[in-house]
Amino acid sequence: MNKDMSSLIEQAAQRMVQLREAGVDLPETPARAQPAPPQAIPQPAPPPVPQVALQAAASSRRVEIDLEALALAGIVSPNAPRSRIADQFRVIKRPLIANALGKGAAVVAKGNLIVVTSALPGEGKTFTAINLAMSIATELDCTVMLVDADVSRPSVMRVLGLPPGPGLLDMVQDESLNMSDFLLRTNIDKLTVLPSGTQHPRATELLASDAMTRLLDAMAKRYPDRIIVFDSPPLLLATESQVLASHMGQVVVVVQAEKTSQSTVLQALATIESCPVKLMLLNQARTAATEGYGYGYGYGYGSGSEPQLA
C-alpha cells in the first residue's frame, strides 16, 4: 500500500471521529460476514447385496419338529426320558457308528452312508430310519443327516410333520445346485433333513447315474464326522432301492416279525449281495422277558454273507 492511500484512510478515519463528536449519526460498520457452516460431504450409498447371496440365505431354512408328537408316535427324542426303544437303538447304532467313523473291526468304504430298507412295504423302515437318526443325533462326536430317498413314496417329511420340498432328485438333475440350499436345519442341534425332492418319471435312472455317484461321494467326504441315514424304497418293490444300496457302505434291512416269510427275506438279501455290511433288524419281535415288542438284530460282513437274527 503506498503512502498516498494510507494518508487518505487516516484522514477519513479522523473525519468520522469528528463527525461523531459533533453529534452526527453515522451507520455502524457492517458486521463481518460469518463464514457459512461447512457442508456435510454426501456419503455414497452402500453397494446392494448380491441377489444370489440373498436367495441362498433365504433358502437355507430352519424348521421346527414337534418332538412331543413324535414321542407319542414312538419316535426317539433327544430330550425325552429314558425308554425301552431308546435303549434298543443305543445298541443298534453302536456298530453302525463305529463303522462310519472308521473304528470298526475293518475299514468300511463310505461307512458313513447308511441306507435303511425292507423287503416289502409296511415293515417299519421309515420308523427305523427316523429313530436311528434321532438316536445318532444324541452323540457327542458326530452329526447326522436324514435323507428321504424313497423318491416314489416319500414318508420322512410327513412323519416329521414337515412340508415336502426340493432336495435329492433336484441335485442329481442339476449338479450346479448347492446342497446347503436344500438342507433343513432342525430344532435338534445335530440333525439336518434333506427332502426327496421333485418327483421324476425316471427316478431310477437318476439314482443310477454318474451324477448320483458323484453326489454321494461328495456327501461321504464333505464332513468326516457326519453320518448320513437314507430311507429308501423296499427292495422288492422298486429298483431304486437296489441301485441306492449299491452306493452305500452299510445297509439296514428291516423285517417285520411274524409277517414277512423267510423266502421273501432271502430274495431281498440277494438283491444287495455285494453290499459290504448288512444289518438285519427284526421289527415288532415279541420278547420273552417282558412279553412286549421290540427289535431283534444281527449282522453280516462281506460279499455274500447273510445276517443272522439274534
Range with top average pLDDT, 43-52, 124-133, 235-244: 124-133
In this predicted structure, what is the pLDDT of residue 304? Answer: 39
In this predicted structure, what is the pLDDT of residue 302? Answer: 43
- Taking residue 308's Cβ as centre, other Cβ atoms within 10 Å add up to 10
59: helix, strand or coil: helix
User: For the segment 61-71, what is each residue's pLDDT rounded down to a tens digit?
Assistant: 899 999 999 98
Q: Between 263 and 77, whose confidence is greater? A: 263
pLDDT score of 45 more than 70:
no
Strand-by-strand arrangement of the 226-231 sheet: 62-63, 184-186, 191-194, 143-148, 226-231, 113-118, 250-256, 277-286, 293-301
Enter the C-alpha cell of residue 41. 460431504
User: For the segment 261-286, what is each residue's pLDDT rounded down to a tens digit?
Assistant: 999 999 999 999 888 899 999 887 76
pTM here is 0.75
pLDDT score of 298 more than 90:
no
User: For the segment 206-227, what is each residue's pLDDT rounded down to a tens digit?
Assistant: 888 899 999 999 998 888 789 9
Q: Note the Cα 72 to chain centre separation in Å.
A: 25
In this predicted structure, what is the pLDDT of residue 134? Answer: 96
Q: Nearest to residue 219, comparing CAs of 192, 187, 240? A: 192
Q: Measured over all CA atoms, what is the biggest interatomic distance in the chain, rounded to whole angstroms?
A: 136
Instruction: Round to whole Å and give the CA distance between 200 and 173.
Output: 10
Q: Between 53 and 31, whose confidence is greater? A: 31
pLDDT score of 57 more than 60:
no
User: For the segment 135-180, what is each residue's pLDDT rounded down to a tens digit?
Assistant: 999 999 999 999 999 988 899 999 999 999 999 999 999 999 999 8
HEC profile of 92-160:
HHHHHHHHHCCCCCCCCCCCCEEEEEECCCCCCHHHHHHHHHHHHCCCCCCEEEEEECCCCCCCHHHHH
